[in-house]
Amino acid sequence: MFEVTARGRELQARLQEFMDQEIYPAEAQFAEHLADPDKRWTIPTFLEELKSKARALGLWNLFLPDARYGAGLCHLDFAHLAEIMGRCVFAAEVFNCSAPDSGNMEALVLHASDEQRERWLQPLLNGEIRSAIALAEPGVASSDPSNLMSTLSKRDEGYILHGRKWWVSGACDPRCSVLLVMALSHPEAPLHQRYSMLLVPQQTHGVKVTRALQTFGYDAAPFGHGEVEFDQVWLPEDSVLAAPGKAFEVAQSRLGSGRVHQAMALIGLAQRAFEAMLKRAADRVAFGRAIGQHGMTHQAIARSRCELEQARLLTHATASMLDRRGSRLAREHLAMVKIVVPQMACSVIDRAIQVHGGLGLSQDSFLANAYAVARAQRIADGPDEIHMTSLARLLS
Amino acid sequence: MFEVTARGRELQARLQEFMDQEIYPAEAQFAEHLADPDKRWTIPTFLEELKSKARALGLWNLFLPDARYGAGLCHLDFAHLAEIMGRCVFAAEVFNCSAPDSGNMEALVLHASDEQRERWLQPLLNGEIRSAIALAEPGVASSDPSNLMSTLSKRDEGYILHGRKWWVSGACDPRCSVLLVMALSHPEAPLHQRYSMLLVPQQTHGVKVTRALQTFGYDAAPFGHGEVEFDQVWLPEDSVLAAPGKAFEVAQSRLGSGRVHQAMALIGLAQRAFEAMLKRAADRVAFGRAIGQHGMTHQAIARSRCELEQARLLTHATASMLDRRGSRLAREHLAMVKIVVPQMACSVIDRAIQVHGGLGLSQDSFLANAYAVARAQRIADGPDEIHMTSLARLLS
Amino acid sequence: MFEVTARGRELQARLQEFMDQEIYPAEAQFAEHLADPDKRWTIPTFLEELKSKARALGLWNLFLPDARYGAGLCHLDFAHLAEIMGRCVFAAEVFNCSAPDSGNMEALVLHASDEQRERWLQPLLNGEIRSAIALAEPGVASSDPSNLMSTLSKRDEGYILHGRKWWVSGACDPRCSVLLVMALSHPEAPLHQRYSMLLVPQQTHGVKVTRALQTFGYDAAPFGHGEVEFDQVWLPEDSVLAAPGKAFEVAQSRLGSGRVHQAMALIGLAQRAFEAMLKRAADRVAFGRAIGQHGMTHQAIARSRCELEQARLLTHATASMLDRRGSRLAREHLAMVKIVVPQMACSVIDRAIQVHGGLGLSQDSFLANAYAVARAQRIADGPDEIHMTSLARLLS
Amino acid sequence: MFEVTARGRELQARLQEFMDQEIYPAEAQFAEHLADPDKRWTIPTFLEELKSKARALGLWNLFLPDARYGAGLCHLDFAHLAEIMGRCVFAAEVFNCSAPDSGNMEALVLHASDEQRERWLQPLLNGEIRSAIALAEPGVASSDPSNLMSTLSKRDEGYILHGRKWWVSGACDPRCSVLLVMALSHPEAPLHQRYSMLLVPQQTHGVKVTRALQTFGYDAAPFGHGEVEFDQVWLPEDSVLAAPGKAFEVAQSRLGSGRVHQAMALIGLAQRAFEAMLKRAADRVAFGRAIGQHGMTHQAIARSRCELEQARLLTHATASMLDRRGSRLAREHLAMVKIVVPQMACSVIDRAIQVHGGLGLSQDSFLANAYAVARAQRIADGPDEIHMTSLARLLS
């Protein structure tokens, strides 16, 4: 209801058409690809073909507000597109709008030098390579950044990076070529100047993706959440993004719009789960009536619809606020989105599973995987508790 | 964020100013008036004075979308005003915007004959009399209208009304002059043509307000929710509103905008409770820290803020939909508002009580009474369960 | 299921019989008494008559584990009796088992001098007088005892007590003769030796019950929760219970069994609400079926039954642990009871209200008042949050 | 607290010792076995060795109340043992107490002919073979048994079984030798006499395990939940358990104690998650304090402890009721256990995941898999909704 522009509406229609004609029909193929242990960690050809098609149609880099590099849409316009893409786990990739590349590209647009842009931003914009972002570390509570221990030390003409990161989303993708890595460079400085953000080529000596982490039983192949070892990695001086000690600023710049994208994607996924619940409720009969005519199913449907619509309105409002007032004044709303959307998605998808019975838990349905994705969002990018605390502090 | 008109914004500012200068300062006086058993069921003079002031300033009949009779605002504009008024239990009355008069006036505008308008609508618009609406009946589940048993039978030149109603809001107000009463007139007709809506002067022979009902321990003096006996009441033929058998249509016409008004008023009340919670959290110290620095208070604050904002956006969206598409296409949203807002208000006010401790339960705070008001809304106008069922059915 | 003794079972049967024959039939009379503004704050004659009958039957002082003064039952035996009494708000009083007298008598048994026992304990045991307990204070977070500001200062042969207390349960009862008052006597001592517990005759110069506090709209007449002013009250030296600086020990001794009694009473009240819900669900018809055949009512019934039974078992287990291991080892369970039971009672009673519709909110049903009683218990004796913190600390 | 026998206590101590010395140390080995794709669906040698050790120590067939075949313990005694075993996913198997074998053995003891006992019960009791149970079917709501479509038809000297089953727990285990299969044999009979229970050797012509189903990405290797095809399977006449048309009676007999076992196992798993949460809360530091000192963690810990203890008491009470009054009179409690325990386990484990952050979702912790196990129990053996409906009906 927040007013989308004419261009936004037109893109919605075209994106919707592409989803119907190209993406949904390819889902079975994707599932088949994943079911083959030998192919699981490779990229299916059809995915690259879909990317070419999407790019040819102008459905490309839609997330980028800077019109020199991307579609130049406002946040509210893109929010609607992100919901549509979010309905299928691999769709955003087809439009070169998938995390963490989207956030990384935004950071590069804002903070990279011309050489860095040339080397990394351009191929990312072209969808030729992919990237990852490495913030969290095993063995500590990463939600408190002062716990992060990977170090960056000056050496000769460059730096030595040493440490271990995990939940490095995208790191297992065979096309992943560069990692943004946050490391402790100025241990004596005040917290927000203590860390630097690095651009680390995946092929550097000493960089090793040791394994793919699972969420519940899912390994997110072929993209993966990697655990990555940085063993005395030498990096040239121009590996630092923005400037030494500026990691927080870089991370911050990925945040505002990124959070809205991710929230809308999750709303898209929850909406799809909700539609599956409605369909199942209408089709399946128990004790002489469609499940959808049982009172408790009414409740599951009604609550889900209410929660979905409210979360969607909240995220639209936040996108609109980003457009009109900027991320600083939208901080309260950004915190609310982070608190509300993942929990809503968990609730809605969980009810959809319940209405589906055993089917909903199994590999025959997208629901259990969708739940895992939603549940992870209550932890990734800071657990609920952190965001509730931030919000409460903003309010007092 | 849904765009309010310039006139709406201007009215908001003036209404806000009136609240600050006239309404809030009068709250203590109102409490004092209620505390005196002899005055409790009379109307305090200052209330009528405030009405005159408000009317003089054009803050009058703001709820009425028909510009011939009222302010002619769209639903979205009025929604914002209703939230502001809702913060104080007697404020809407001052602007002649209080339920059930507002809904009754809307119904009279749409369905009354010229004579009926002359006799009842005009003095209501002037704030000279008040009215009540009598739908529910004791002893049956009134949420199923087919249970309603008060009968209307043809007799000579008129009708005989017989039965008993309860939760007749406004009936105990000494200024209440007319009751809209729904009665069974065509027992053999299909359900939606079985009932008629009557205009019954309070002073009619056989009409008796037998007592004021309480919600929790509150009697809502001096307005009151009455139990009313109709003992063989003779009514002339022109007592029927719209036409015989048209009670559902009349009731329906009170509904769309009425539900938005009531929801926004409740949001205003919950918002005020939330602000009280913030203030208390900042002021009160326990175990060496302000309560607001305890983690569980963070949670109470964060959840409340999220729920409030989402409910507000949902109601704004519904108002906007009423404006743009009409009440038929807004049915789904109207059901959502009814499900969401009272539960949100109960949750937020309950948390505010908890943060206030014993004070929050007592007469020294508005919170306990606010909770009673919010809790009643989960039953009045149909219990949650009915609305969840309706919503689920609309979706399938 | 925790094994009650043969004597406990026999008392249950007799108590049950007394409830059926004497208490329930008197409820209407009690309601009538309260409805009369002139009698509201007096004690109805029938109540004293019922006390005589109960005492004659040996249904008297059942709560007191010390057989020299009371029934000498173990906690588990009495827990079952407390549930039965809890079903009616004035029943415990009839058996001289009502709070705060019961806890006060326990404290006097353990800590009073012979003179104090003679003067206060004996008439309390006889049901001739009643008492109150004054801990909380207005204007501060009383859950943190270090906030309490009423002072006790040495003067001549005695003390001066000065301060203000509220939520002094029982203080408005015309028979209330003595107040236990906690006051700051040793401001320099460590927290747990800083306060003294006093026995203050209600009729002392400078003691004034200024008003009755309400919970939601209920004033708990004729017992009442008073606000009490102590204006430079002179007290003789022997007014101190136990010894100066021992208020915490005295308060502690009221706690273990008191918490179990109160929990069981609340379980009795919630059980009665549950039974009312079942009856209503069976009787009331909506949309062609008894309400009890609607799916959402199934859920309300099933969840309530599960929560009730679990809370009851937890409280029985706690009583049994008090009997077998003493209050120190039962601390964890006592905290759990305090966290679980009031919230359970609120949920169950709230669902019962919802199933009853408008009736459930009104004075025609005991439910709304029962809700207020249950809700207050989430604050009285420390808010939920305090008990969750204590429990978490005990566990780590 | 419900009184365990001396023998029960002694077995607890020995079981606990075995867990500490043999089971927990083997967990890493089990994880390693599963991580190897080539071994994943085979049985690790150490498991069979542990079985021999356990049997030698008399920790064997503890679940069987019939002393001729098993330990002859009462339900309450075994409930405590089941909780201990439930802490590790493969432990019950070591003591020959794992589902579905335990329930199947109970059914065989009660309903099998001497020949059937000889052929299937004896090797099951010896732990030489394993079994499965096939009730649910794909494509229908299996919670309504009248939906089940696999048919059994008379043919020559035997029967033809035709149909498809899924969620056949244990069917993928290489040692699985026999399946209990419920099939429609008397389509014209009243519902409860319409189905027969068959003993189908896994190696029979036409029986094919087509795949292992997953719950949240987990395939439960090496035991597995199979989808099984029965393609015109010929079975001799003595394949029917009990008698033709008696499937419901057989299924019922597996139920009472089975439900208690399963609930206690889940309580054991949730208890372990809770202990992990406590440990993590104590160890991990964020923002200058151990996570366990944050208020929201207090709440997570306190609520979990309360829910766990209540669910445990409820299940103990149910076991005790089975022992004293039999399964018919325990029906209400059995329904409560089914409603309460899986939801409690989901809540507790979910909170433990949240306190663990990313670690809790990953393969480095048992928590995510534990969640999947608990979540599946809200669907297996009938979804929550069915049990709430049954309970509500029992109560009215």
Residue C302 has pLDDT above 70, yes or no: yes
Final residue of a domain: which of B203, B232, B249?
Answer: B249
State the Cα–Cα distance between residues C251 and C382, nearest whole angstrom: 13
Q: D342 preceded by cis ω (within 30°)?
A: no
For residues C368-384, average pLDDT = 96
* A389: nearest CA partner in chain B: B298
State the Cα–Cα distance between residues B136 and B150, nearest whole angstrom: 10
pLDDT tens by residue, D138-160: 999 999 999 999 999 999 899 99
pLDDT of residue A156: 84
State the Cα–Cα distance between residues C69 and C112, nearest whole angstrom: 13
Do D263 and D386 reside in the same domain of the chain? yes
Q: Across the interface, do C298 and A296 touch by the CB < 8 Å criterion?
A: yes
* B282: nearest CA partner in chain A: A396
Residue C35 has pLDDT above 80, yes or no: yes
Task: Report helix angle C295-329 to C247-283, nearest 10.
Answer: 160
Q: Is D11 exposed, middle or buried (0-12, 13-18, 19+ CB in 10 A)?
A: buried
pLDDT tens by residue, C233-284: 999 999 999 999 999 999 988 777 889 999 999 999 999 999 999 999 999 9
Average per-residue pLDDT in chain D? 96
**A-B contacts at Cβ under 8 angstroms:** 112
Domain membership of residue B376 (yes or no) is yes
Do A59 and A142 reside in the same domain of the chain? no
pLDDT of residue A66: 93
* Residue D277: alpha-carbon gap to chain centroid: 25
pLDDT tens by residue, C122-180: 999 999 999 999 999 999 999 999 999 999 999 989 999 999 999 999 999 999 999 99
Q: Is A241 exposed, middle or buried (0-12, 13-18, 19+ CB in 10 A)?
A: buried
Residue D312 has pLDDT above 80, yes or no: yes
Q: Across the interface, do C361 and B375 touch by the CB < 8 Å criterion?
A: yes
Mutation target among B287, B291, B293, B296 for the D interface, most CBs of D within 10 A? B296
Do B225 and B272 reside in the same domain of the chain? no
Domain membership of residue A104 (yes or no) is no
pLDDT of residue A256: 76
User: Domain total for chain D?
Assistant: 3
- Is any Cβ of chain B less than 8 angstroms from the Cβ of C140? yes
Residue B1 has pLDDT above 70, yes or no: no
Q: Residues D41, D43, D46, CA angle at the centre, nearest 5°?
A: 145
pLDDT of residue A255: 75
Could you give the residue ranges of the DSSP H alpha helices within chain A? 6-18, 24-35, 45-56, 75-86, 91-94, 101-111, 114-116, 122-125, 247-253, 255-283, 295-329, 331-356, 358-361, 367-377, 384-395
In 3D space, the residue among B99, B200, B89, B219 whose CA is nearest the CA of residue B150 turns out to be B200
Do D242 and D315 reside in the same domain of the chain? no
| CATH number of the domain where residue C318 is located | 1.20.140.10
- ipTM of this predicted structure: 0.97
What residues of chain B, 362 to 391, have a C-beta less than 8 Å from chain C? 362-363, 368-369, 371-372, 375-376, 378-380, 383-385, 388
Residue B243 has pLDDT above 70, yes or no: yes
State the Cα–Cα distance between residues D289 and D5, nearest whole angstrom: 45
The Cα of B141 is separated from the nearest Cα of chain D by a number of Å equal to 19
Across the interface, which of D216, D359, D384 has its CB nearest the CB of A217?
D216
Residue D261 has pLDDT above 80, yes or no: yes
pLDDT tens by residue, B149-200: 999 999 989 999 999 999 999 999 999 999 999 999 999 999 999 999 999 9
Domain membership of residue D134 (yes or no) is yes
Do C306 and C239 reside in the same domain of the chain? no
pLDDT tens by residue, B349-391: 999 999 999 999 999 999 999 999 999 999 998 999 999 999 9
Q: Given pLDDT bands bounded at 50, 70 and 90, which one contains residue D171?
A: very high
Residue type for position B236: P
Q: Which chain C residues are Cβ-neighbours of A294 within 8 angstroms? A: 295
Final residue of a domain: which of A249, A281, A312?
Answer: A249
pLDDT of residue C1: 59
| CATH number of the domain where residue A40 is located | 1.10.540.10
pLDDT of residue B109: 96
- Name residues of chain A where pLDDT drops below 50: none
Domain membership of residue D103 (yes or no) is no
Domain membership of residue B85 (yes or no) is yes
pLDDT of residue D257: 84
| Structural domain range at position A375 | 254-395
Residue B301 has pLDDT above 90, yes or no: yes
The Cα of A293 is separated from the nearest Cα of chain C by a number of Å equal to 9
Do D231 and D280 reside in the same domain of the chain? no
SS3 C196: strand
Q: Is B210 exposed, middle or buried (0-12, 13-18, 19+ CB in 10 A)?
A: exposed
For residues C300-312, average pLDDT = 98
In 3D space, the residue among D229, D254, D199 whose CA is nearest the CA of residue D138 turns out to be D229
Task: Report helix angle A331-356 to A295-329, nearest 10.
Answer: 160
Q: Which chain A residues are Cβ-neighbours of C296 within 8 angstroms? A: 295-296, 298-299
pLDDT tens by residue, D11-38: 999 999 999 999 999 999 999 999 999 9
Q: Which chain C residues are Cβ-neighbours of B384 within 8 angstroms? A: 354
Measured in degrees and rounded to the nearest 5, phi and psi for residue B37 equal: -55, -30
| CATH number of the domain where residue C226 is located | 2.40.110.10
Across the interface, which of D2, D301, D314 has its CB nearest the CB of C395?
D301
Do D189 and D280 reside in the same domain of the chain? no
Final residue of a domain: which of B221, B249, B277?
Answer: B249
- Is any Cβ of chain B less than 8 angstroms from the Cβ of D298? yes
pLDDT tens by residue, C41-62: 999 999 999 999 999 999 999 9
Residue B304 has pLDDT above 80, yes or no: yes
pLDDT tens by residue, C210-241: 999 999 999 999 999 999 999 999 999 999 99
Domain membership of residue A376 (yes or no) is yes
pLDDT of residue A1: 59
Do B243 and B271 reside in the same domain of the chain? no
Q: Across the interface, do B295 and A389 touch by the CB < 8 Å criterion?
A: yes
pLDDT of residue D1: 59
The Cα of D395 is separated from the nearest Cα of chain A by a number of Å equal to 18
Q: Which chain B residues are Cβ-neighbours of A388 within 8 angstroms? A: 298-299, 301-303
The pair of three-digit structure tokens given for residue A187, joined into one six-digit string: 């241990």
Domain membership of residue C1 (yes or no) is no
pLDDT of residue D113: 97
* C306: nearest CA partner in chain D: D336
pLDDT of residue C181: 98
State the Cα–Cα distance between residues C368 and D45, nearest whole angstrom: 64
- Is any Cβ of chain C less than 8 angstroms from the Cβ of B129? no
Domain membership of residue A120 (yes or no) is no
Across the interface, which of D301, D313, D396 has its CB nearest the CB of C392?
D301
Q: Which chain D residues are Cβ-neighbours of A215 within 8 angstroms? A: 361-362, 368
Give whole-number Cα distances, A10 to A3, A5, B231, C283, in Å.
13, 9, 64, 57
Do B136 and B244 reside in the same domain of the chain? yes
Do B309 and B224 reside in the same domain of the chain? no
Q: Which chain C residues are Cβ-neighbours of D292 within 8 angstroms? A: 392, 396
- Is any Cβ of chain B less than 8 angstroms from the Cβ of A339? yes
Residue D255 has pLDDT above 80, yes or no: no
pLDDT tens by residue, D174-211: 999 999 999 999 999 999 999 999 999 999 999 999 99
Average per-residue pLDDT in chain B? 96
Across the interface, which of B310, B320, B395 has its CB nearest the CB of A305?
B395
Q: Across the interface, do A363 and D214 touch by the CB < 8 Å criterion?
A: yes
Do D179 and D203 reside in the same domain of the chain? yes
The Cα of D134 is separated from the nearest Cα of chain A by a number of Å equal to 14
SS3 A204: coil
pLDDT tens by residue, B49-66: 999 999 999 999 999 999
Do C227 and C263 reside in the same domain of the chain? no
- Is any Cβ of chain A less than 8 angstroms from the Cβ of B342? no
pLDDT tens by residue, B191-238: 999 999 999 999 999 999 999 999 999 999 999 999 999 999 999 999
Q: Please say whether the dihedral angle defined by the alpha carbons of residues A258, A259, A264 and A270, taken in this order, is positive or negative.
A: positive
